[in-house]
């Protein structure tokens, strides 16, 4: 290798440069959780590679399929769109064709949760690890992007964070994960209904799937919105599986929760939606003039968060 090692973000930026050009068919191109096409079509694709995104000694093939589908559906949810169909591309070793069926069953089970059909896909053998690429297609009249955060907005998060990362950390250290953490990794939550409700009522003005980690993904909203997103550390909901480890909640990723920003005065309505769909919604900070993301305590003292986060390219959970 010559030159510094490229991270996922840099490579993705180069790939976008190579492939993207304006098109009448496209209302919103690369750079958000999903693309938005004319006719209200929202589309995203999510690649999971054995040994990088999952290991079959951590979860079974069905769990791997479920997670891959949950990841793709989370991208559609983050746009405030209603998922309608999935396509599934699978590569499995020729010695274990039954793996394809197990993965597909997991995908179908996540799809059933949101009443989505699998309408196609592709299948190949592979001399390497199992690969699952799930394409999710949804619809929306208008989408919620990463660029809608405005000073005065409140920053909210769905569910609780750090559980999935705690499981990965345990497995990677050769430990058995906390049962709550394992469950969190194996069965990511379904945030489609809450996201749709928040979008329909105009309460989520910016939104993002925080599966790369709260701080990293909040930073993406900050950048796209040209705003400063200030998170209050003691407000961040830490998943029981993370056993109080705030760092996992801030930087862990892989939870498939959503971060969104809402206009002032929306708090009561947001809380009501959370109660209605039975998803905890927590206000964790505010949007200010400025740029970037900071994590503060109640006194306003800033915590050093670094630029860590989940980079599928440089440092996945498994070798």
Tell which positions 7-36 bind a second copy, by CB under 8 A.
8, 11-12, 14-16, 18-23, 25-26, 29-30, 34-35
128 sits near a second copy (criterion: CB under 8 A): yes
> Helices marked H in 114-189 — which ranges?
163-172, 179-186
Closest CA relative to residue 294, chosen from 204, 233, 207: 233
Q: What is the DSSP string of 272-297?
A: HHHHHHT--EEEEEEEESSSEEEEE-
Q: What are phi and psi of 286, to 5 degrees?
A: -145, 160
Nearest approach in angstroms of CB 185 to a second copy is: 17
Please pick, from the candidates 47, 56, 224, 246, the single residue that binds a second copy as defined by CB under 8 A: 47
- End-to-end Cα distance, the chain: 19
Taking the least distance from each CB to a second copy, the nearer of 107 and 266 is 107
Nearest approach in angstroms of CB 209 to a second copy is: 12
Taking the least distance from each CB to a second copy, the nearer of 23 and 176 is 23
Rounded to 10 deg, the angle between the 61-78 and 179-186 helix axes is 70
Positions in 257-316 near a second copy (CB under 8 A): 312-314, 316
Taking the least distance from each CB to a second copy, the nearer of 129 and 240 is 129
Tokens of 90: 């699978």
Rounded to 10 deg, the angle between the 61-78 and 98-113 helix axes is 40
Taking the least distance from each CB to a second copy, the nearer of 140 and 262 is 140
Positions in 68-127 near a second copy (CB under 8 A): 84-91, 94-95, 97, 100-101, 104-105, 107-108, 111, 116-127
List all residues 6 or more positions away from 92 whose beta carbon is below 8 Å from its beta carbon: 99, 100, 103, 123, 125, 126, 130
Taking the least distance from each CB to a second copy, the nearer of 111 and 228 is 111
Nearest approach in angstroms of CB 148 to a second copy is: 19
SS3 140: coil
Tokens of 56: 């079959």
Taking the least distance from each CB to a second copy, the nearer of 15 and 235 is 15
Number of chain positions touching a second copy (CB under 8 A): 77
């Amino acid at each position: 290798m010559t030159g510094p090692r490229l991270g996922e973000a840099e490579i993705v930026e180069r790939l976008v440069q190579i492939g993207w050009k304006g098109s009448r068919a496209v209302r919103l191109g690369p750079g958000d959780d999903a693309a938005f096409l004319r006719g209200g079509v929202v589309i995203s694709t999510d690649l999971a590679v054995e040994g990088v995104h999952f290991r079959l000694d951590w979860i079974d093939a069905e769990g791997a399929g479920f997670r891959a589908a949950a990841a793709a559906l989370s991208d559609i949810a983050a746009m405030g769109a209603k998922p309608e169909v999935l396509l599934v591309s699978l590569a499995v070793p020729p010695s274990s064709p039954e793996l394809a069926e197990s993965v597909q069953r997991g995908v179908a089970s996540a799809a059933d949760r949101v009443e989505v059909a699998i309408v196609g896909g592709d299948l190949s053998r592979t001399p390497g690890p199992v690969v699952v690429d799930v394409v999710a297609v949804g619809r929306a009249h208008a989408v919620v992007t990463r660029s809608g955060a405005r000073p005065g907005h409140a920053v909210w998060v769905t569910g609780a964070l750090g559980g999935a990362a705690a499981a990965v950390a345990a497995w990677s250290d050769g430990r058995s994960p906390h049962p709550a953490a394992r469950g969190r990794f194996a069965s990511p939550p379904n945030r489609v209904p809450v996201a749709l409700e928040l979008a329909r009522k105009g309460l989520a003005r910016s939104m993002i799937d925080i599966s790369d980690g709260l701080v990293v993904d909040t930073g993406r909203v900050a950048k796209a919105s040209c705003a400063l997103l200030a998170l209050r550390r003691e407000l961040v909901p830490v998943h029981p599986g993370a056993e109080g480890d705030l760092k996992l909640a801030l930087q862990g990723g892989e939870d498939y929760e959503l971060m969104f920003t809402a206009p002032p005065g929306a708090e009561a309505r947001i809380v009501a939606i959370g109660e209605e769909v039975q998803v905890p919604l927590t206000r964790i900070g505010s949007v200010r003039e400025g740029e970037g993301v900071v994590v503060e305590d109640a006194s306003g003292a800033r915590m050093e968060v670094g630029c860590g986060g989940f980079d599928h390219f440089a440092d996945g959970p498994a070798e």
